[in-house]
């Protein structure tokens, strides 16, 4: 079936270091969404990418959608303690509106 | 005002019991969902309703029965609870369940089956 692979599962960084999570789909996506789930919280929508090669920025967060619309990344520059949480990607295809979720990447800030 | 609210927040119960989780959204959305998040944080869709009609029914034991009395409410009833049902259950909603729509999640119900 359709899958979205997300790596890494965990990433430990020192505060101030960068963080990146990657998603790769087995099929072409019509769009990809990113969500953040704080510890003990619920997923919160961050952004949606629709166009091939699209890049969007939200302050220190940079989101990219691949040219083939099969992969996406989220990069955080100079992480802060408020960035801690699990980041999920979720994609849709043209044939199915059901979101296909990645497994999430947990960002852990080392003390 | 909370956009998607679900109750209870915590549910601790014995194996074999029957329990319900309630969800309400005040966003005027047509589509509501139930997701299960296991200990590894993987989000798995269970059900989706559009305007009170069942749209998505993933491979879920028939002990789980959703009910949507109106488009603003989607409840989840679980019969004969098992240890493996322990998880966080999230309710969510979206405008119409079509393309390019973001999901709004409730705060979750942490179910512990003892």
Distance from CA of A88 to the nearest CA of B (A): 9
pLDDT in tens, A26-75: 999 999 999 999 999 999 999 999 999 999 999 999 999 999 999 999 99
pLDDT at residue B1 tops 70: no
B106 touches chain A (CB under 8 A): yes
Calculate what percentage of chain B has a pLDDT beyond 70.
99
Query: What average pLDDT does chain B have?
Result: 93
Helices (H), chain B: none
- Reported residue count of chain A is 111
Residue A35 with chain B: CB contacts under 8 Å? 103
CB contact under 8 A, A43 and B102: no
Q: Residue B57's pLDDT is what?
A: 79
Query: What average pLDDT does chain A have?
Result: 95
CB contact under 8 A, A48 and B42: no
Residue B32: how many CA atoms within 13 Å on its side-chain side?
A: 29
Give the start-end residues of each E strand in B1-114: 4-7, 10-13, 19-25, 31-37, 43-50, 53-57, 64-70, 73-78, 87-94, 104-105, 109-113
CB contact under 8 A, B42 and A103: yes
Residue B91 with chain A: CB contacts under 8 Å? none
Q: Residue A95's pLDDT is what?
A: 81
pLDDT in tens, A53-65: 999 999 999 999 9
pLDDT at residue B9 tops 90: yes
Q: In angstroms, rounded to a whole number, what is the distance separating the alpha carbons of residues A85 and B92?
A: 19
């Amino acid at each position: 079936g359709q899958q979205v692979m997300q790596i890494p599962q965990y990433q430990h960084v020192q505060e101030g270091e960068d963080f990146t999570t990657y998603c790769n789909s087995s099929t072409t996506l019509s769009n990809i969404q990113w969500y953040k789930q704080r510890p003990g919280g619920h997923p919160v929508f961050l952004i949606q990418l629709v166009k091939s090669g699209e890049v969007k920025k939200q302050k220190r967060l940079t989101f990219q959608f691949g040219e083939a619309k099969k992969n996406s990344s989220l990069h955080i520059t100079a992480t802060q303690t408020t960035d801690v949480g699990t980041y999920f990607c979720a994609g849709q295809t043209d044939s199915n509106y059901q979101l296909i979720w990645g497994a999430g990447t947990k960002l852990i800030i080392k003390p | 005002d909370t956009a998607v609210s679900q109750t209870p927040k915590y549910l601790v119960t014995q194996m074999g019991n029957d329990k319900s989780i309630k969800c309400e959204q005040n966003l005027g959305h047509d589509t509501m969902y139930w997701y299960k998040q296991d200990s590894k944080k993987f989000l798995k869709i269970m059900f989706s309703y559009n305007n009170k009609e069942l749209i998505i029914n993933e491979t879920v034991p028939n002990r789980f029965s959703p009910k949507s009395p109106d488009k603003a409410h989607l409840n989840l009833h679980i019969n004969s609870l098992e240890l493996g049902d322990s998880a966080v259950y999230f309710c969510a909603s979206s405008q119409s369940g079509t393309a390019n729509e973001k999901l709004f999640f409730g705060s979750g119900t942490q179910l512990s089956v003892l």
